């Protein structure tokens, strides 16, 4: 019945488009209309998903995909670009939540496990995916006209993107399932730490690739130093923002959510101005407030109470931005890529957890938290597209295709794992 109601809203939109003919086009007003519809349809599909014990965010993503350019075409690139700031704001608030969930008191106990899984899994996924792709290079059409070194560097870029995860997806599933426990802490800590490792690694690999593709690429070491500085500066800025937020929460305390939105907006601005990593900076804000003040609980509960609309906005827009047509064009390679990535993520997590002597539940189930891929992977793919010409475009298409699938199944698998381990709570 609720789907029928959403269809009625859709019909209203169609009628509005008919009435609109002749009025000058304005992206802003179209974006508002589409945004409202995305929220409504996303909400309804999310609720239907929740009824079947599927994460709401999967429903939001599916609804976004349906409204996106490849299917109903309600949302086009122009609208997505127009709503970029709203999307960034939602992402910053999700990153605040991710940071606030990282409690040192809990993480201290999981530090060994987080470090071990991060290292083993990243190394294994990178090396093994690269090796398999190297063996499969006759299938990769973009390799045909490239030299051996160029193929190697492109494969290295692709293998590195395979190691990336989505902290925002992980935190969304955790918050929705109201999950607490070893798997939760391990996945959360690892996804954030891996974010840093992947960023540094990508800059290294990309620098080496650029050497083989053009003279524009600088020496890898200096570039890596730049990225390390970027990471450090992002974290420091995040801590500084966090301290300001603590002062506000301590001495003012009014309109907390509004102040958080203002901080999110200003952190976006700051990261753009100084080319900082927005996600890391926002995570550091949340981490600082949560761990170095008495207001941490208030901060986190405020964010969690607003989580519904924030996740809805972010994941609907993420879904709408995914290009399904690309998936269809390279589906067989995408399936191989997903298969390899999934397999070695599982093995890497298991091995890392075994080295850290984690409990059996973590060894068996934690890997599901690393399947989801979203913003970081898409961002790296976009960089590859921009820098590596035709092979870069192929990489980007392949990654977008993989993200479509991983983003649908990743949250479902992770939620299943949280419920199976008893850390998450079922929908009433």
Partner 1 sequence: MTTILGLIVIALFAYLGTALFKIPGLPPSLRALIASGLGFFLVGLLLGPYATNLLDAGDQKSLDVVVNLGVGWVGLLFGLQFYRRDLRRFPARHYLGAGVESLFTMLVVGAGMWAAVGLSPWAAPVWLTVGVLAIVASTTSPTIAEQIVHDTRPRGPITDTIRLISSVDAVPAIVLLGVGLCFSPLHPADAGVLGSGWLWVATACGLGLTLGALFHLITLYRYTDNQLLVIVLGLTVFCGGAAHYLRLSPLFVNMIAGMVVANRSPQRLRILRSLLAVEKPIYLVLLTLAGAMWTCPPASLVALVPLFILLRLIGKFVGGHLATTVAGLATRSSLGLGPGLVPHGGMAVVIALNVKQFFPGALGDLALSAAVASVLVAALVGPLTLQRLLYHEGEAS
Contact residues: partner 1, CB under 8 A: 2, 5, 8-9, 12-13, 16, 18-23, 28-37, 39-40, 42-43, 47, 82-86, 240-241, 244, 247-248, 251-255, 257-259, 261-263, 265-267, 269-270, 273, 305, 308-309, 312
Q: Shortest Cβ distance from residue 243 to partner 1 (Å)? A: 11
Least gap, CB of 17 to partner 1 (angstroms): 9
Work out how close the CB of 31 gets to partner 1 at its nearest, in angstroms, rounded to a whole number. 6
Find the shortest distance in angstroms from Cβ 170 to partner 1. 21
Q: Residue 387: name the closest of 229, 269, 213 by CA.
A: 213
Q: Minimum Å distance from CB 177 to partner 1? A: 15
| Residue 43 or 337 having the CB closest to partner 1 | 43
Our CB check for partner 1 shows the closer of 84 and 386 to be 84
Sign of CA dihedral 88, 93, 99, 102: negative
Contact 369, 414 (CB under 8 A): yes
Q: How far is the CB of 256 from partner 1 (least distance, A)?
A: 9
Task: Please list the helix, strand and coil fractions of the chain in percent, rounded to the nearest 5, in that order.
Answer: 80, 0, 20
Least Cα distance to 137 among 125, 157, 152 occurs for 152
Closer Cβ to partner 1, 105 or 273, answer by number: 273
Dihedral, 194, 199, 334, 88 alpha carbons, nearest 10:
90
Q: How many CA atoms lie within 13 A of 12 on its CB side?
A: 11
> What span, in angstroms and rounded, lies between the C-alpha atoms of 157 and 389?
13
Q: How far is the CB of 426 from partner 1 (least distance, A)?
A: 15
In angstroms, rounded to a whole number, what is the distance separating the alpha carbons of residues 71 and 62?
11
Distances (CA, A) of 115 to 35, 290, 341, 384: 40, 21, 20, 28
For residue 266, the minimal CB distance to partner 1 (Å) is 5
**Closest residue by Cα to residue 74 from 19, 37, 46, 39:** 37
What is the end-to-end Cα distance of the chain in Å, rounded?
A: 20
Q: Of 42 and 411, which has the nearer Cβ to partner 1?
A: 42
Residue whose CB is less far from partner 1, 16 or 149 = 16
CB of 388 to partner 1, least distance (A): 29
CB-CB neighbours of 70 under 10 Å:
17
Nearer to partner 1, 31 or 128 (CB): 31
180-207 as b/e, with b when 16 or more CB fall inside 10 Å? ebbbbbbbbbbbbbbbbbbbbbbbbbbb
Residue number with CB closer to partner 1 (270 or 335):
270
Contact 373, 194 (CB under 8 A): no
The residue among 92 and 125 lying less far from partner 1, judged by its C-beta, is 92
Nearer to partner 1, 33 or 336 (CB): 33
């Amino acid at each position: 019945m609720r789907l029928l109601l959403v269809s009625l809203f859709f019909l209203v939109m169609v009628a509005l488009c008919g009435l609109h003919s002749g009025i000058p086009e304005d992206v802003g007003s179209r974006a508002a209309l589409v945004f409202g519809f995305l929220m409504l349809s996303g909400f309804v599909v999310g609720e239907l998903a929740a009824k079947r014990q599927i994460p709401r965010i999967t429903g939001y993503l599916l609804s976004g995909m349906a409204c996106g350019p490849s299917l109903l075409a309600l949302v086009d690139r122009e609208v997505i670009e127009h709503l970029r700031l709203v999307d960034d704001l939602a992402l910053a608030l999700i990153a605040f939540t991710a940071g606030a969930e990282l409690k040192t008191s809990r993480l201290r106990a999981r530090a060994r496990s987080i470090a071990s899984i991060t290292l083993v899994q990243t190394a294994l996924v990178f090396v093994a995916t690269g090796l398999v792709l190297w063996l499969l290079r006759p299938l990769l059409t973009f390799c045909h006209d490239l030299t051996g070194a160029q193929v190697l560097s492109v494969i290295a870029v692709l293998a590195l993107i395979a190691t990336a995860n989505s902290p925002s997806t992980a935190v969304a599933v955790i918050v929705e399932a109201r999950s607490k426990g070893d798997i939760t802490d391990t996945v959360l800590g690892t996804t954030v730490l891996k974010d840093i490792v992947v960023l540094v690694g990508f800059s290294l690999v990309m620098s080496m690739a650029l050497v083989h593709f053009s003279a524009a690429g600088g020496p890898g070491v200096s570039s890596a130093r730049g990225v390390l500085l970027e990471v450090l500066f992002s974290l420091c800025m995040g801590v500084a923002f966090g301290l300001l937020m603590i002062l506000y929460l301590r001495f003012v305390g009014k309109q907390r959510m509004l102040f958080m939105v203002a901080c999110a907006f200003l952190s976006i601005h700051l990261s753009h101005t100084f080319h900082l990593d927005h996600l890391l900076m926002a995570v550091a804000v949340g981490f600082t407030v949560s761990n170095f003040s008495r207001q941490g609980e208030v901060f986190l509960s405020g964010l969690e109470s607003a989580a519904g609309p924030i996740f809805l906005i972010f994941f609907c827009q993420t879904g709408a931005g995914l290009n399904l047509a690309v998936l269809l064009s390279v589906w067989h390679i995408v399936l191989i890529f997903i298969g390899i990535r999934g397999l070695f993520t599982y093995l890497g997590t298991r091995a890392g957890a075994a080295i850290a002597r984690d409990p059996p539940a973590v060894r068996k189930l934690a890997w599901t938290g690393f399947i989801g891929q979203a913003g970081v992977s898409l961002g790296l793919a976009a960089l590859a597209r921009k820098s590596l010409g035709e092979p870069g475009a192929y990489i980007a298409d392949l990654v977008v295709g993989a993200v479509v699938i991983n983003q649908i199944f990743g949250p479902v698998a992770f939620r299943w794992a949280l419920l199976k381990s008893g850390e998450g709570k079922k929908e009433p």
